[in-house]
Homo-oligomer: A and B are copies of this chain.
Amino acid sequence: MLSQQDVPGAVDEVLRDFFATSTVALDTVSPTAAEAGRALDDFVLGGGKRIRPLFIHAGWQCAISAADRPPAAPSAQATEALMLRVGAAIELIQACALVHDDILDRSDTRRGRPTVHRRFERLHERLRWTGDGAHHGSSVAILLGDLALAWADDLVHGYRPTGDAPLPPPLPQAAGAAWSQMRTEVLGGQLLDITNEVSADESVDAAYRVMEFKTAAYTVARPLQIGAALASASAALSTDLRRIGTDLGLAFQLRDDLLGAFGDPAQTGKPSGDDLIAGKRTVLIARALADSGPVVADRLRALLGRPLSPDELADARTILTDSGAVAAVEAQITEHVDEAQSLIAGLDVAPTARADLTALAHRIADRQA
């Protein structure tokens, strides 16, 4: 059975194989389109931690080894290729999410390189094309994100944009249902996120709700559930995994909040204090605003959503720490991970499956990037 450490490489293999055919399909339209499409291949294969495919694998591994597994369920061998295909597909969803999000957030860099829309803005500049280069960059990035989203569905259902016969086996219904829910949840969470931002909703509740759908469901809970469904998991196991996934997903995002304010650019690949400069409404910031006096809260508000000098960044960080928000968020991370750990300990699955899930839990909660 494919081990956890081999998942990223195996998923990349599926992606490379898919991009070989998608490039052919785009090239049939025009070499110009294929050239633009290559930016998507570069983006997907050039980085990322494959965290969602790892959770798909973890869910699958639990279901394959579950004590309550139906005797007639297909074997690990029969479903491994499908598990990797769905893992690759979710990386394409993630490509769409990041490429479009970078337009929404006006981000210049991602993974230490120019974002896709900036890349095409620069190409426009370099080739001295006509019109507005920034608009052209965003336009290309919108279309490339759309392609990634369409290709994700092709891959999940086994199709290739060259129109070859679909790859077996077909997606089980429970996996398709969770896949469908997941896409609406992440996009709904993003809609809520940008609306909270412009309507200046500072509440901890609002930030929590975004986190629940934009991150927890999408990054951990649904991937675990989808992976489990690929191996015919029982309803009980599926429910347990979704609960574990929600806890771990919330821990993941809370860690992200801390990294977005305190992270080391050399490790995160993003500018220092990125979330503060972007004025993101994270739980960390909502907590600090709620728990500071009105004067300090106003000082923090004045430090959000604009470029910051090193002194200003240090000041914002001091407020986050002194308000108790940093400690509160660290405590929440611990609480969510502990809750997940006790649920993991109770799963009637193979020791490897439990150990792998535990390793992912720590990786999520303790990461530096």
A10 at the interface (CB under 8 A from B): no
Closest to A93 in B: B150
**Docked CA distance A188–B179 (Å):** 25
Residues of chain B within 8 A of A25, CB atoms compared = 181, 184-185, 188
Cβ-defined contact, B188 with A33, below 8 A: yes
A30-B209, A187-B146, A188-B26 known; A131 vs B181 contact (CB < 8 Å):
no
**How many copies of the polypeptide does the oligomer hold?**
2
Q: Is the interface of A mostly helix, strand, loop or mixed?
A: helix
Cβ-defined contact, A187 with B147, below 8 A: yes
A85-108 contacts to B (CB < 8 Å): 96, 100, 103-104, 106
Residues of chain B within 8 A of A138, CB atoms compared = 103, 138
14 more A-B residue pairs beyond the given contacts A104-B143, A149-B150, A163-B180, with a C-beta to C-beta distance below 8 A = A29-B184, A32-B191, A106-B135, A124-B198, A127-B199, A130-B199, A136-B198, A140-B195, A143-B191, A146-B187, A157-B157, A160-B180, A163-B181, A166-B177
Residues of chain B within 8 A of A96, CB atoms compared = 146
**Docked CA distance A173–B165 (Å):** 7
A115 at the interface (CB under 8 A from B): no
**Docked CA distance A180–B155 (Å):** 10
A253 to chain B, nearest CB (A): 15
A136-B194, A194-B139, A209-B30 known; A162 vs B181 contact (CB < 8 Å):
yes
A167-188 contacts to B (CB < 8 Å): 170, 173, 176-181, 183-185, 187-188
Q: Which 3 A-B pairs have the closest CB atoms?
A: A29-B188, A161-B184, A153-B153
Range, interface on chain A: 35 or more
Residues of chain B within 8 A of A135, CB atoms compared = 106
Residues of chain B within 8 A of A305, CB atoms compared = 131
Some 25 contacts from A to B, beta carbons below 8 A apart, are A22-B184, A25-B181, A25-B185, A29-B189, A29-B192, A30-B213, A33-B191, A33-B192, A33-B195, A34-B188, A104-B142, A104-B143, A129-B200, A130-B200, A131-B305, A136-B198, A138-B138, A146-B149, A150-B187, A157-B157, A159-B180, A161-B184, A162-B181, A164-B177, A166-B177
Select one of B129, B150, B197, B199 contacting A183, CB under 8 A: B150
A8 to chain B, nearest CB (A): 25
Closest to A36 in B: B191
Residues of chain B within 8 A of A37, CB atoms compared = 188, 191
A154 at the interface (CB under 8 A from B): yes
A145 at the interface (CB under 8 A from B): yes
**Docked CA distance A184–B144 (Å):** 10
A323 at the interface (CB under 8 A from B): no
**Docked CA distance A130–B196 (Å):** 10
**Docked CA distance A170–B136 (Å):** 39
A192-218 contacts to B (CB < 8 Å): 192, 194-200, 209, 213
A136-B198, A209-B30 known; A145 vs B143 contact (CB < 8 Å):
no
Residues of chain B within 8 A of A192, CB atoms compared = 29-30, 32-33
Cβ-defined contact, A198 with B131, below 8 A: yes
A272 at the interface (CB under 8 A from B): no
Residues of chain B within 8 A of A195, CB atoms compared = 32-33, 36, 140
